[in-house]
A and B are shown apart, each in its own frame.
Chain A
């Protein structure tokens, strides 16, 4: 009996990108093309052009039964494409994959949730969409409700839920799926710390039960906790398969050029980001130099350079700052100030630089990851890259350096202490 759960051989996926331009060179070509037009139209084919991109290219690997394999890589590296193929949402363009057993996929929690339906109704619906039988849903109903912690609102339409409640309910249904193979994408990137802990715990249980899991995440601590081995994708290719701690180290150090600067090539920006176009992200020290290593005792600047091809209303451009293990330290947007947000309203087309000052005596020593988000709240997310750039903080001269021990904690503030000798 084979103990292979997933076998992927030379898998590739090609996408067409950009505008479709039909260019006919000769009259004869045009006539031929025109004659074939109706059949092409029905097949959804377009005139042949080179405007294609391999989102996934020649990827091969195997996952044994009961193994939990992590998948990491930057935005656009092909992680989601890989999961979509394995979840049977889309077909590969080349190669093949062989899957032994029933697959459950969690590419997003709450798929098929309808805002007008109550929690109870959505559990039934979502369960069915995820492939549960009605009897199975009925049997697990109480357990799901209890796990979600929304008992009181179970007969309220989910549109009245807070986003946290919505997520908890959605995850609760998904968590009670019992496939032999589970394909999970980034569900832990959302929700509060408490919820994330709960999700991680549940994922851990799943892994312990001997089910096969393919787990994509930007959260390095989740990868380290849940998986033993991890593969790294880069520009559609598999560049490394290694024990997870090695893979994470590689990803956080060797995988990123240590320049304090990141430029985006046009092919690294998803087409749906338009009209927002990310140009660069830089880390500057107090002298304004672009550096990889900052001193914790000096102020620093993070700057995002971008271009708007068209005006965007309600835009906010901001950064996430995370530790090398993926713990979020803070999120900050350039229009956090309500007055500035009002005043900017619509940001006109053009080239911009959004800069944020990181105060001195703020970060502890270590390696940090900067992510970018450009969005209009509740309208649209234009661009997101959680792992855009890494930099190092050196703590020389920081408070407490006289003791040669690592100072625990995410931040290293210089705080006012008073020591008063009290009379006996």
Chain B
């Protein structure tokens, strides 16, 4: 046997295909090998999103601005909730940023398996790639919106707090929550199309139970705040606003509760997804 043949034999991978039962390992090594595909798919989603639109990427700004006006009117003019001394437009807009990132990531991820069914039924790649790339699709929009937020801070002469370095962590927390929950939803959506109908309702309700138009410390009684923070978006939104605008900080307990729930969702979501992915090609 020649040396090159030996070398080739060492390189050669052997794949065994057999029916699997029960839970599967996450197989993150395989995921790493296909990492470029994650970015290609994200890149595709971003490129495609604003093609053949008149306003193009301005939609990334228009959507949250409209939401800001609606929420400001509802929670300010009608419900007259306080904003911890921050001008209401920027108070709401700063919360809508992480919220928008989350809700877009969640609904894209929840639909991702069905949306990419033509790929799933035709070719192998680690299926986790699809929800992973969907989660990242909103990051560019978020970046554009963030520039607007900075301009608004200039306009209202608000300086970021020293805790501003925590911002990326809150953004990460929003993405992890969206991914964890989205993994559950996308796998369930492959089996039951009902999920597609529930998703818009779910994100709308979730918006109302998250402190986007109001401040959690202001509205939720102290003894209920920990339970309230089991909604991971409470930690994300309150934390984001605190780090940037200096609203009252969320308590450590609240942050821990939000983070724990969101990581729990991610881990269970990944295992559930891995368990169900073996039948995706047969049911989508």
Interface hit among A109-117, A271-279, A354-362: A109-117
Number of B positions contacting A (CB below 8 A): 42
**1/0 contact string of A60-100 vs chain B (CB within 8 Å):** 00000000000000000000000011111111111111111
- The answer to whether A101 touches B37 (Cβ under 8 A) is no
In angstroms, Cα B123 to Cα A131, docked, is 10
A182 contact set on B, CB distance < 8 A: none
Within 8 A of B (CB), among A113-141: 114, 116-117, 121, 124-125, 128-131, 133-134
Is A1 part of the binding interface, using a Cβ–Cβ cutoff of 8 Å?
A: yes
Is A350 part of the binding interface, using a Cβ–Cβ cutoff of 8 Å?
A: no
Pick from A99, A102, A111: contact of B122, CB below 8 A.
A111
List the count of A-B residue pairs having beta carbons below 8 Å apart: 110
Name the residue on A nearest B119 (C-beta): A112
Is A103 part of the binding interface, using a Cβ–Cβ cutoff of 8 Å?
A: yes
- The answer to whether B18 touches A95 (Cβ under 8 A) is yes
Is A15 part of the binding interface, using a Cβ–Cβ cutoff of 8 Å?
A: yes
Pick from B14, B36, B275, B283: contact of A100, CB below 8 A.
B14
Pick from A96, A101, A108: contact of B18, CB below 8 A.
A96
The smallest C-beta distance from B268 to any residue of chain A, in angstroms, reads 11
Known contacts A96-B18, A131-B125; A121/B47 CB under 8 A: yes
A85 contact set on B, CB distance < 8 A: 17
- The answer to whether A88 touches B36 (Cβ under 8 A) is no
In angstroms, Cα B38 to Cα A134, docked, is 12
Pick from B14, B118, B272: contact of A112, CB below 8 A.
B118
B43 contact set on A, CB distance < 8 A: 125
Known contacts A44-B276, A128-B37, A129-B119; A89/B281 CB under 8 A: yes
Pick from B18, B40, B272: contact of A92, CB below 8 A.
B18
Is A175 part of the binding interface, using a Cβ–Cβ cutoff of 8 Å?
A: no
In angstroms, Cα B48 to Cα A116, docked, is 6
In angstroms, Cα B15 to Cα A382, docked, is 36
**1/0 contact string of A296-324 vs chain B (CB within 8 Å):** 00000000000000000000000000000
- The answer to whether B14 touches A87 (Cβ under 8 A) is no
- The answer to whether A84 touches B36 (Cβ under 8 A) is no
In angstroms, Cα B177 to Cα A355, docked, is 60
- The answer to whether A96 touches B16 (Cβ under 8 A) is yes
The smallest C-beta distance from A12 to any residue of chain B, in angstroms, reads 9
- The answer to whether A101 touches B12 (Cβ under 8 A) is yes
The smallest C-beta distance from B162 to any residue of chain A, in angstroms, reads 40
In angstroms, Cα B51 to Cα A332, docked, is 39
A131 contact set on B, CB distance < 8 A: 34, 125
**1/0 contact string of B1-35 vs chain A (CB within 8 Å):** 10001000100111111111000000000000010
- The answer to whether B51 touches A88 (Cβ under 8 A) is no
Known contacts A84-B281, A114-B44; A97/B16 CB under 8 A: yes
The smallest C-beta distance from A272 to any residue of chain B, in angstroms, reads 12
- The answer to whether B37 touches A129 (Cβ under 8 A) is yes
Is B279 part of the binding interface, using a Cβ–Cβ cutoff of 8 Å?
A: yes
Is B135 part of the binding interface, using a Cβ–Cβ cutoff of 8 Å?
A: no
Pick from B1, B47, B120, B276: contact of A89, CB below 8 A.
B120
B192 contact set on A, CB distance < 8 A: 41
A86 contact set on B, CB distance < 8 A: 17
Known contacts A44-B279, A128-B37, A129-B37; A107/B17 CB under 8 A: no
Is A387 part of the binding interface, using a Cβ–Cβ cutoff of 8 Å?
A: no
In angstroms, Cα B14 to Cα A98, docked, is 7
Pick from B15, B188, B272: contact of A103, CB below 8 A.
B15
In angstroms, Cα B124 to Cα A86, docked, is 10
Known contacts A97-B17, A99-B17; A117/B123 CB under 8 A: no
Is B193 part of the binding interface, using a Cβ–Cβ cutoff of 8 Å?
A: no
- The answer to whether B123 touches A89 (Cβ under 8 A) is yes
Residue positions of B touching A, CB distance < 8 A: 1, 5, 9, 12-20, 34, 36-37, 40-41, 43-44, 47-48, 51-52, 118-125, 188, 191-192, 272, 275-276, 278-279, 281-283
**Can you list 7 A-B contacts (CB < 8 A)?**
A91-B279, A92-B19, A95-B18, A98-B16, A99-B17, A100-B13, A128-B41
Question: Across chains A and B, which 4 residue pairs bring their CB atoms closest together, nearest first?
Answer: A88-B124, A96-B18, A128-B40, A44-B191
Residue positions of A touching B, CB distance < 8 A: 1, 15, 41-44, 84-103, 105, 107-108, 111-112, 114, 116-117, 121, 124-125, 128-131, 133-134, 157, 180
